[in-house]
């Protein structure tokens, strides 16, 4: 059931490039994660992604604003994204 729901969502989802994750983003995110203070996610895992404090779905103008970035791991990023989707779905009802 969960896998089917995720597959339906992914089919409607724009590509990473369409969502703003271009070569500029990749370069800046890599530089951000290379800083010693950004080595770990808040959960203690090694940071592998840049997360947004304020979602770019809600505030696309903050996509490249480093003060809106935080180091994260894939797991925490997925949890944050799922929580945001659920909150949006509740607000739409």
Q: From residue 12, how far is each of 5, 7, 48, 80 by CA, in Å? A: 11, 9, 25, 19
Q: pTM for the full model?
A: 0.77
Taking the chain, what is the end-to-end CA distance rounded to the nearest angstrom?
A: 21
User: Could you read off the pLDDT of 22-80 as tens digits, one per residue?
Assistant: 899 999 999 999 999 999 999 999 999 999 999 888 899 999 999 999 999 999 999 99
| Banded model confidence at residue 12, pLDDT cuts 50, 70, 90 | confident
pLDDT at 13 over 70: yes
Q: What share of the chain is helix, strand, coil (3-state, %, to 5)?
A: 55, 10, 35
Question: Encoding tokens for residue 93?
Answer: 């009802």
Report which DSSP code applies to 54. S
């Amino acid at each position: 059931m969960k896998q089917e729901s995720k597959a339906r969502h992914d089919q409607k989802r724009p590509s990473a490039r369409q969502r703003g994750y271009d070569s500029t983003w990749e370069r800046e995110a890599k530089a951000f994660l290379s800083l010693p203070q950004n080595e770990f996610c808040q959960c203690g895992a090694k940071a592998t992604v840049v997360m947004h404090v304020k979602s770019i779905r809600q505030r696309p103008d903050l996509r490249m604003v480093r003060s809106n970035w935080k180091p994260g791991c894939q797991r925490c990023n997925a949890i944050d994204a799922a929580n945001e989707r659920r909150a949006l779905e509740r607000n739409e009802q």
